[in-house]
Amino acid sequence: MRHSVVRAILWKELLDLSRDYKTLAYVILLPLLALPGLAVFAGGLYSTQSVVVYIVDEDGSGVSRAFVEGLAEFLGRGVGGVSVEVRMAGSLEGVPVTSVAIVVPQGFGSSLESIDGRAEVRVLVLPGSPAADRVVSAVNSYVFRFERALVEHRIGVLAERAGLAVDAPGFLDPLSVRREFWIVGGPGGGGAVAEEVALSARVVAFSLFFVVNPAIVFVSDSIVGERERKTLEKLLLTRATRLEVLTGKILATTVLGVAAAAADSIALVSFFALSGYGLALSPLLVLVWALSAILLVLLTAGISAVISVRSETIRSAQSGSFLVLMVALAIYFSSLAVDFTALPRSVLIALQVIPFTHASLAVFSAVYGDLGDVALHLAVLALSAALFLLVAARSFSGERVVMFR
């Protein structure tokens, strides 16, 4: 295979694709603008939310006043970016239907003043309001703190009556759990950072789905689209071999596919950063993410080339290729919630027959620091891409491509 011929075809393909400004804008520029714009838009709408909370103190005792005043101050600071307006009432009658109403019933104070008394707080919530749900979560958090302080006070009273010195926190929490993380070589630390990296890896694994689509569009247009435009015959009349022609087209697809993947990745990171949930990306995770994306572009290009060579129209080529896209979607969507290493061995082996699975497994292996597994999964991904490219090259005959026979 002559490299000069491949370079000439590569340059020709890149020039053809560069003239299609709309496609380039949709594939590369649109994600860079759309995802961050979506985060800004949704974040702006979220920050404008305001929840009216009524706190109804039907008891009126000193204990209930302490509870109510503390709760009002706690909610008044805002809840997860949602503005909270707290209003007080002495009775539920006359209180309008609102997002959240918290009712402290009669007998609240006398029950809690008893050494073993119990009381309850009613929380009325407007169904279907995410902002109201956040407020309810904040109320539950405050109730837990208030309850903990009350229990510690009761322990102190009982200890004083018994003439004992009791450490209330130790009495309530005699056993603790220290959470560590498994890494290659044995147990390790890392704490919250390791957990954030692991959770970010799930998002990264899912984002690999967006790498697949541009390659399908570019390859089907490069092969079937050029045949429909009646320009493929001239290319095949040159001295370039079918392998050189296909290699040039695949390399052009890879260049633009990787550019689109980079745009999608930057847009994804920007989306989470602007949403207030920055991804924790280690250098190894970023490197494996990039290598997986490049190999996925090559793999998808090879699969799409095999389908395109056997397709009569660009529409049928893309339809067939998008069936493959659905397989990738199933794998990468599952990455959000499924721990592949926890699957039965037979299921995991069956999944690894699908080449797309190895991109996800490489990403997860990077989180655990298992360089051996990372190399193995990337190697399988590379071999799968090479296999499909070889099949495409053998299928890429002048008569089949031009006359569709």
How would DSSP label each residue in 58-108?
A: SS-SHHHHHHHHHHHHHHHT-BTTBEEEEEEES-STTPPP-SEEEEE-TTH
Strand boundaries in 308-387, DSSP class E: none
pLDDT at 183 exceeding the cut of 80: no
Rounded Cα–Cα distance for residues 347 and 329 (Å) = 18
Residue-averaged pLDDT of the chain: 82
Residue 118 confidence class, pLDDT cut points 50, 70, 90: very high
Rounded Cα–Cα distance for residues 34 and 36 (Å) = 6
Partner residues linked to 187 by β-bridges: 182
pLDDT at 404 exceeding the cut of 60: no
pLDDT for position 65: 93
Rounded mean pLDDT, 177-181: 72
Residue range(s) in the chain whose domain bears CATH number 3.40.1710: 50-172
- DSSP label of 186: E
Does 13 or 358 have the greater pLDDT score?
Answer: 358
Q: Which helix (H) or strand (E) segment is 124 a member of?
A: strand 122-125
pLDDT at 133 exceeding the cut of 70: yes
Rg of the chain, C-alpha, whole Å: 31
Q: Which of 9-18, 135-144, 158-167, 293-302 has the lowest mean pLDDT?
A: 9-18
Residue 309 confidence class, pLDDT cut points 50, 70, 90: confident
Would the CA dihedral through 70, 71, 72, 76 be positive or negative? positive
Rounded mean pLDDT, 137-151: 93
Q: Which residues of 106-142 are buried (b: 16+ CB within 10 A; e: fewer)?
A: eebbebbeeeeeebebebbbeeeeebbbbbbebbeeb
pLDDT at 175 exceeding the cut of 80: yes
Rounded mean pLDDT, 241-257: 79
Residue 399 confidence class, pLDDT cut points 50, 70, 90: low
pLDDT for position 303: 87
Does 347 or 178 have the greater pLDDT score?
Answer: 347
The first and second tokens of residue 73, run together, are 């101050």
Does 398 or 397 have the greater pLDDT score?
Answer: 397
pLDDT for position 275: 73
How far lies 116's CA from each of 111, 119, 149, 165, in Å? 8, 10, 14, 20
pLDDT for position 398: 54
Does 158 or 254 have the greater pLDDT score?
Answer: 158
Rounded Cα–Cα distance for residues 404 and 355 (Å) = 28
Give yes or no for a contact between 113 and 63, defined as CB atoms under 8 angstroms apart.
Answer: yes
The first and second tokens of residue 87, run together, are 């209003």
**How far is it between the farthest Cα atoms of the chain?**
103
How far lies 202's CA from each of 71, 280, 281, 337, in Å? 37, 11, 11, 8
The first and second tokens of residue 149, run together, are 């302080």
Does 393 or 400 have the greater pLDDT score?
Answer: 393
Fold of 50-172: abc type-2 transporter like fold (3.40.1710)
How far lies 156's CA from each of 6, 114, 176, in Å? 83, 14, 22
User: How many other C-beta atoms can be found within 10 angstroms of the C-beta atom of residue 319?
Assistant: 13
Q: What residues have CB less than 8 Å from 146, skipping those under 6 apart? A: 67, 70, 71
pLDDT for position 154: 92
Q: What is the pTM of this model?
A: 0.70
pLDDT for position 102: 93
pLDDT at 321 exceeding the cut of 60: yes
